[in-house]
């Protein structure tokens, strides 16, 4: 079947989740991927949203963490302080699934502003729960579209810690998760180098060249020696993803 680069990204991100995982889900692309995983190969994945909804199974993709669909389809809903203090900080979340506006070579995320802090060009929504998720979840998956605007050498502001400005931000820090373990884009999959923690490309999506990734990245991106080809989406994954998005559009249009 034919598919778009966005569908390739979502399916690849969904496949990163395993059945039985507990996943703290961000709104947008992470939510799309996490719910696709739940509807395909990982029916027992436990999805948690920042508003306090546990084991939620939305029929449509939520507009925000406050979308009633999340609470209505959840096993239960707890207070936000309990969500963060007991569930997240208590080490009960395997994976945090996040999106971002900017990411740098050490997987630091910026959702605060673009430009100078005192006179920013653009103000962004802020971190929300992402800084705590990235710190306390067992590991972090990040998904976003690949461009030089998003993939910069150094983020303008570190909203959410990846591995710090020098790649050593998590060294010798107790009670902290692994941090970002993979970044999924519409061109490739990246993982942090085991030694330097700088992001390197481990897999190219079908039809994507090294040159495309280089041109879309704001630093001198490296590739692993044994570069893999990302498996393509199958018909079942595409059918379920497309129906999920169509169902969501109909619901948000009031149909």
Q: What residues are labeled active site? A: 50
> In which element (H, E) is residue 197 found?
none
Cα gap 80→182, rounded to integer Å: 27
CA–CA separation, 204 and 217 (whole Å): 14
- Bridge partners, residue 46, by sequence: 22
The 8-class DSSP code of residue 160 comes to: B
Q: How far apart are CA 205 and CA 15, in angstroms?
A: 14
Q: How far apart are CA 204 and CA 52, in angstroms?
A: 36
**Contact partners, residue 98, CB within 8 Å, separation at least 6:** 26, 30, 109, 130, 133, 134, 140, 141, 142, 143, 160
Start-to-end CA span in the chain (Å):
29
- Tell me the chain's radius of gyration from C-alpha atoms: 18
**Residue 5, C-beta contacts closer than 8 angstroms, at least 6 positions apart:** 186, 187, 205
Q: Is 129 helix (H, G, I), strand (E, B) or coil?
A: coil
Q: Report the distance separating Cα 186 and Cα 65, nearest Å.
A: 25
């Amino acid at each position: 079947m034919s598919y778009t680069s966005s569908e390739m990204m979502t399916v690849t991100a969904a496949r990163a989740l395993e059945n039985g995982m507990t996943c703290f889900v961000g709104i947008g692309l992470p939510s799309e991927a996490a719910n696709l995983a739940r509807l395909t190969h990982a029916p027992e994945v436990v999805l948690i949203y920042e508003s306090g909804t546990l084991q939620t199974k939305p029929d449509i993709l939520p507009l925000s963490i406050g979308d009633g669909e999340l609470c209505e389809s959840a096993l239960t809903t707890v207070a936000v302080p309990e969500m963060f203090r007991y569930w997240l900080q208590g080490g009960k979340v395997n994976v945090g699934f996040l999106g971002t506006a900017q990411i740098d070579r050490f997987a630091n995320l910026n959702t605060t502003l673009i430009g100078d802090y005192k006179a920013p060009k653009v103000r962004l929504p802020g971190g929300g729960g992402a800084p705590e998720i990235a710190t306390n979840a067992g590991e972090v998956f990040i998904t976003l579209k690949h461009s030089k605007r998003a993939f910069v050498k150094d983020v303008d502001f570190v909203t959410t810690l990846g591995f710090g400005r020098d790649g050593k931000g998590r060294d010798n820090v107790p009670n902290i998760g692994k941090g970002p373990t993979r970044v999924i884009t519409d061109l490739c999959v990246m993982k942090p180098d085991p030694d330097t923690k700088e992001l390197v490309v481990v897999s190219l999506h079908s039809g994507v060249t090294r040159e495309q990734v280089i041109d879309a990245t704001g630093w001198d991106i490296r590739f692993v020696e044994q570069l893999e080809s990302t498996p393509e989406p199958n018909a079942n994954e595409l059918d379920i993803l497309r129906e999920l998005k169509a169902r969501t559009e109909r619901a948000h249009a009031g149909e």
